[in-house]
Amino acid sequence: MKQIAVIGSGTMGNGIAHTFAQFNYQVNLIDINQSALDKAIQTITKNLDRQVAKGTLIEDQKTTTLKNITTYTSIPDGIQNADLVVEAATENVDLKLKIFKDLDEYAPAHAILASNTSSISITQIAAVTGRGDKVIGMHFMNPVPVMKLVEVIRGYATSDETTRTIMSLSQSLEKVPVEVNDYPGFVANRILMPMINEAIYTLYEGVAGVYEIDTVMKLGMAHPMGPLQLADFIGLDVCLAILKVLNDGFGNPKYAPCPLLVNMVAAGKKGVKTGEGFYKYTSGSKDLVVSDKFKKS
């Protein structure tokens, strides 16, 4: 595999493009919005500069990585020579199904179609294509250039050959691929999201405050980041979407989203991306400041 196409230039998409390009794959980064693509290249450049400053890359590698990325605003143009297409669009079932119908129509017959979905069924996605054996999940972790795990999800029809190819490809990126089967939330989010949801319930029910809940988990369980801070980092809207997938998929009330989470997303308080969630975020500041909404009087 030499030619990689990435659909979506947001946080995950630009991270996936960055990672493949850094390991000398030719990457077509595709988004319908040119300004989003320009922003993605700026983000990749900034992250490469950070790697150079830390000594994990040299300047020539940064230059080569950027040269390996070409941007497109058209799916047919961007995937016509792809060996692998990785979809990293918004976590929305209808949108992903539409994208995969287009990918199946315009990608070469040999191309593998992968989704970076964090919870949506690979089997459901594959069913809208004519190549179910070549559809698979590649769930990268954020930030993609740093995090080692790739959750490789086999749909009902995914072939052994496709799975072996993606496992090997992930290793070529110096990642650690873990093969899992296609059930709601897979492994990572099936375990993580109920923990985050329970932390939100703990706040909602007045058991403890934001700082206290996160401190217990960081110092008591050796988590590098508390669950409420992590929820802000992931995006509260994303957390809500995944919990809905779990709740719908299993029909078990233990996955029902906390009403506080529902209200925060409805109010536009989605975490880091909007500048406020359980904490407030100011550009250029690394201080962790609890949102005024949750400060003790």
Which residues form the catalytic set?
118, 139, 151, 189
Residue labelled with tokens 């959750």: 151
Cα angle vertex 128, ends 123, 132, to 5°?
55
The reply, when asked if residue 94 is annotated as ligand binding, is no
3-class secondary-structure state, position 55? coil
The reply, when asked if residue 13 is annotated as ligand binding, is yes
The reply, when asked if residue 31 is annotated as ligand binding, is yes
**Distance linking the first and last C-alpha atoms of the chain:** 58
The reply, when asked if residue 2 is annotated as ligand binding, is no
Q: How far apart are CA 46 and CA 63, in angstroms?
A: 12
Least Cα distance to 263 among 224, 219, 293 occurs for 293
The reply, when asked if residue 96 is annotated as ligand binding, is yes
The reply, when asked if residue 209 is annotated as ligand binding, is no
| Buried-exposed string 77-89: b where 16+ CB fall within 10 A, e elsewhere | ebbbebbbbbbbb
The reply, when asked if residue 10 is annotated as ligand binding, is yes
Binding residues: 8-13, 31, 91, 96, 118, 142, 273
Binding residues for NAD(+): 8-13, 31, 91, 96, 118, 142, 273
